[in-house]
Chains A and B, each alone.
Chain A
Amino acid sequence: MKTSLTDYNTDIKNTWCPGCGNFNIHLALKQALVDLDKHPSEVVISFDIGCNGNGGDKIEGFRVKGLHGRAIPFAVGCHLANRRMCVIADIGDGGCLHEGIDHLIHAIRSNYDITLLIHNNENFALTTGQITSTTKKGKRMYAFPFGKTEGDINIGELVLSLNPSFYAKGFSGDPIQLTQIIKEGIKHKGFSVIEIIQLCPTYNPENSLDFLKERIAKVEKTDDLNLAKKRVINKDKIYTGIIYRNSKLKDYYSNLVSRKDIKTELVDEVKNYNVSNILNDLQ
């Protein structure tokens, strides 16, 4: 029987604010998985803590709600142990760009074959609206009435500076396009970074649906890195779609010499091993 959207629904009551972008992000994720005919038992989603993490019980699958900022390395551990599973890391701009930014950088250079969804609502929302490195300059935030003192991090610029294999940008206000992007991300063999502009009517009302719709421009996917870099720094337009893809980069596991020609997954290999030959080698 083919998987349907209802297979991904749970009976847990939603706790997101009305108008929260997470509703559509979940819808798009579910639809993408259904379109790819992934059964929930074939999917592992590693969430961190925040409004995105509160979605952990609102979608089916093998889900882990872990520590703030650590969704990526946990997902990597899952993926390396069993590549038969479709592994997705789900994180907010706070956890991804602050406490867990090292994981983002190293996952890009490692090119693990997992998909990363960054819910970018430009603030730490669950802790009631603190500054992140994507919060707009001058915007009044929790404990900082005059806004942030620090500069910004442009996610696209950061990702593209690291020789990535896949970077896309979606918008919670356009779940149809977002579904397509997530599908492409999952299918891509490598680390797929998907930044999602997430509406946050409670703490970031300035970024309204209308405001964003006026500025968004959809692009076709490209393997031209320079073009992609120009697009992500454009001040007037917000480009969405698959901003950059390089299918030539091999993923991490495929590069592992010790796993060459091994057909099984790590999870299949847990048994007692005789070590006497290794002990002899050490002499």
Chain B
Amino acid sequence: MKDRISVKFGGQSGQGINTLGGFVSKALKNLGYHTFAYREYPSIIKGGYSSYQIDFSSTDILSPSKMCDILICISDTALEEYLTTVRRNGVLLHSVKDYEFDSKSQKYIKNKNITTVYIDSLEITERQKAHSIMSNVVMLGSAWQAMNLDIKVLESVVINYFSNKKDVDIQAEKKCLEAGYSIKQVKDIKKINLPILKSQNWSKSKVITGNEGIALGAIAAGCRAYYAYPMTPATSILEVIGDTSLKTHILVKQAESEITAAQMVMGSMYMGARAFTATSGGGFDLMTESISFSGVSEIPLVIVLGQRAGSGTGVPTWTGSSDLNVALYSGHGEFPKCVMCASDALDSFELIQDAFNISDRFQIPVILLTEKHIAESIFNISKLPGIKRIDRGLSQNGISRYIYTNNGISPRWIPQSGKNTYLTNSDEHDQKGISTEEENTIVNMSEKRIRKLVSLKKILPEPKYYGNTNAKLIFVGMGSSKNAVLDAMKQSRKPIGYLHYKYIYPFKKEKLTQLVKGNAKIVLIENNQSSGLGKLIKEECNFYISNTLNKFDGRPFFVDDILEYLRK
């Protein structure tokens, strides 16, 4: 018996796929299932192919399947792209009139024993005297029938959604949904076996994307200004913080460039507020001079780097994890920084709070990596973790801004009327902040700053180990790779383990070194071509992990990828 089912909606960009997927996600959750939703879309507004895939299970799941059990397509482009993602004995429902499968497709359908049903959704819509746009709702009803689920649950989700919209004929929506649900050909399909719901019920749970996790975490951490320039996949952070700003009163500024955004963040942080920015690789490249400035001037700076696939403009709306190097080595000169990496919506929420605390307390730039796959996938959570206490390490007042200390952290006090003034300097400087070219001061001040890295390393936790303690095979990774491996653990009988790096730099190596000394086969898993984490491990631990599982086709690791690797 399978414990997870995957249903995918495919269509052109702009056809309303996300709305359909959102309905199904929510209705499945209301039934008590745990869901994970994964989106693919092109870098165009209208056309191409896009998909919204929902995996659901009776236990918690964090990653998408490569293959789906039910595919619903409303455009020929999606049919062409996604037909071969339907699993053996799966179901394909589509509404593309007069579509003719080519011989290759026909062969696939036959060999995989796929049940294909064409639904003339437009004609059905007309029969209900409804607007043609509601043909999508017909397909929604049919999809629900194919899953053999209670229509009332879906209906209430749909009605609830449209009751908040103006000028929507709710009765017509309802009729179209019923009509789709009642199609005989779909009713006759051999029903799939649904996961059996256990005592743990997810109906009261919440759905949240990784970027929503970051936005909420930042709000919780007392962030009062958000400065950004739009860039996928960071843009939706701007959306969430902007759309909620009437409630939070956060100042949201769309800056004229990423350089501007980073500088404005630093200005506000210098003054004692909390602010941050988020971008993707190209925008991050522009921010690197500011990162170096933050390092030497000891002005806190928090940047979220949402990774996507490729160099240059790359494959803008697809995922990957190839920017660890640029995060680690960004900025000229030598200065301390902290790099961390989110893996899902929950730790996105937590890590951005850590980022603020570390940046404030250690007065360093902190880079939080995320990925398109984390940023825009929809996770199902029972609740948000508790909010982390704000820890800023601020002093009331002081004499010398850059005074030498054992832990490298000089007391920082915020500019305010009546306080002692100081010069914050991008030039190398003495303890008072005055520019210097004096050799001993250069050495002492550089050493003071680097000592902060040692202090920070002490408080960072070792990477977390998941799975069997007697594992024969242990994956080592970061980011969303974790989710596919953890999901695979539930499905595979093999005793495997996974060591997850959440706090990447300064690098913690104790646990990894222990594991490497053991008998298990160590496998580096990375959603990139040249194993950025592996290179860091070599640099820090002086050993290579020669077994690697890399993927760099713009897609995330699917749970199937891990299972396939384990079968080999």
Contact = CB atoms under 8 A, between A and B. Distances in A.
A77 B227 contact: yes
Nearest to B274: A270
Contacts of B419: 41
B104 to A, nearest CB: 42
Given A56-B425, A81-B275, A102-B257, A272 B290 contact: no
B179 to A, nearest CB: 28
A271 B259 CA distance: 27
A253 B390 CA distance: 27
A256 interface: yes
B244 A266 contact: no
B421 A77 contact: no
Interface stretch (A58-66, A159-167, A169-177): A58-66
Contact of A266 (B257, B273, B384): B273
Given A67-B290, A70-B259, A258 B253 contact: no
A257 B249 contact: no
A258 B421 contact: no
Contact of A275 (B384, B420, B424, B435): B384
B442 interface: no
Interface string A230-255: 00000000000000000000000000
B184 interface: no
A256 B224 CA distance: 14
Q: Which of A106, A257, A266 has the most CB of B within 10 A?
A: A266
B144 to A, nearest CB: 20
A269 B240 contact: no
Contact of A42 (B221, B256, B271, B417): B417
B267 A81 contact: yes
A39 interface: yes
Interface in B368-404: 384, 387, 389-390, 392
Contacts of A259: 249, 251
B286 to A, nearest CB: 12
B206 interface: yes
A278 B244 contact: yes
A80 B253 contact: yes
A32 interface: no
B220 A272 contact: yes
Contacts of B387: 272-275
B76 interface: no
A278 B212 CA distance: 10
A205 B56 CA distance: 77
A80 B392 CA distance: 20
Contacts of B434: 12, 57
B97 to A, nearest CB: 36
A272 to B, nearest CB: 5
A270 B384 contact: no
Contacts of B465: none
B183 interface: no
Contact of B256 (A70, A103, A273): A103
7 contacts: A63-B422, A63-B423, A65-B426, A66-B266, A70-B259, A73-B267, A279-B384
Interface of B: 206-208, 212, 216, 219-222, 224-225, 227, 240, 244-253, 255-257, 259-260, 263-275, 289-290, 293, 297, 299, 384, 387, 389-390, 392, 414-427, 433-435
> Which 10 A-B pairs rank lowest in CB-CB distance, beginning with the nearest?
A77-B267, A73-B263, A77-B264, A81-B271, A62-B415, A81-B273, A258-B245, A81-B268, A266-B224, A266-B273
